[in-house]
Amino acid sequence: MRKQIFILLFALVLMISACAAPQLKKNDLLIEPTINKVISNENPVYLYVETFGVARTISNPTVVGEARTGGFNVRSLIHSEEAIHLIVTDQIKKAFFKAGFKLEEKEKADFTISGRIERFWVSERFGGFAESARASVKYDLIIRNRQGRFLWGDNIVGRATARDSIDVTKEDVPTLMNALKESIESLFKNESFWKTFEQ
């Protein structure tokens, strides 16, 4: 009888831990936002991008979501190898570079970009006989001139959703990256953002 109970408990532990929560790894950050408008090489714009801050409501900048894992859909935190403020700062730098801006030290830059992350999160929900992963990325982005005067600012938002009839956990991290990608693309589609650099 004890042997059967042990086997049953062992099987239960295996079932619960069968599906571990995914992890956001550096390899997952190879996103390529679509940026259709670029700065002319004839009139280069030099930028300094500060490391973004994190809102106080984010208690741990390396926790990026919550998955439901195993046979009993146990809630498991999704961790990131890198803190979210470093991820967003790096992706913003790459996007500005792709758009033709020149990245410089603060003393040599015409403009300074700064920001604060308010949300960087993905979670799973169940409904309609399917599971869905929903991700949201939200941050403030501010542009100042060489003298430190405020020129432009906005709340940048990106959202993404994925569905799966069996287990959506494998889509958690890609969905979060799609939300980040959408947020960056929305910035570079904003005409008022572009006009800031025409002054």
Virtual CA dihedral for 119, 177, 88, 77, nearest 10 degrees? 50
SS3 (DSSP) at 111: strand
Highest mean pLDDT among 13-17, 65-69, 152-156: 152-156
Predicted local distance difference test score (pLDDT) of residue 165: 64
Q: Domain extents for the chain? A: 21-198
Closest CA to 160 of 173, 149, 176: 176
- On whether the CB atoms of residues 64 and 153 are closer than 8 A, the answer is no
pLDDT for position 70 = 62
Hunting for tokens 């500060």 — which residue is that?
Answer: 50
Which residue has better confidence, 181 or 68?
A: 181
Task: Spell out the alpha helix ranges (H) of 36-155.
Answer: 84-98
Cβ-Cβ contacts under 8 Å for 132 (sequence gap 6 or more): 124, 125, 126, 161, 162, 163, 164, 168
Q: In this predicted structure, which of 19-23, 28-32, 73-77, 160-164 has the lowest mean pLDDT?
A: 19-23
- The pTM of the full predicted model, rounded to 2 decimals, is 0.86
CATH T-level topology, domain 21-198: Rossmann fold (3.40.50)
> By percentage, how much of the chain surpasses pLDDT 70?
85
- Per-residue pLDDT tens over the stretch 80-118: 999 999 999 999 999 999 999 999 999 999 999 999 999
Residue type, 91: Q
pLDDT in tens, 170-183: 899 999 999 999 99
* Res. 125 pLDDT band, cuts 50 70 90: confident
For residue 16, the model assigns a pLDDT of 43
In this predicted structure, what is the pLDDT of residue 11? 42
Q: 69 or 35: which carries more pLDDT confidence? A: 35
The pLDDT, as a whole number, for residue 14 is 40
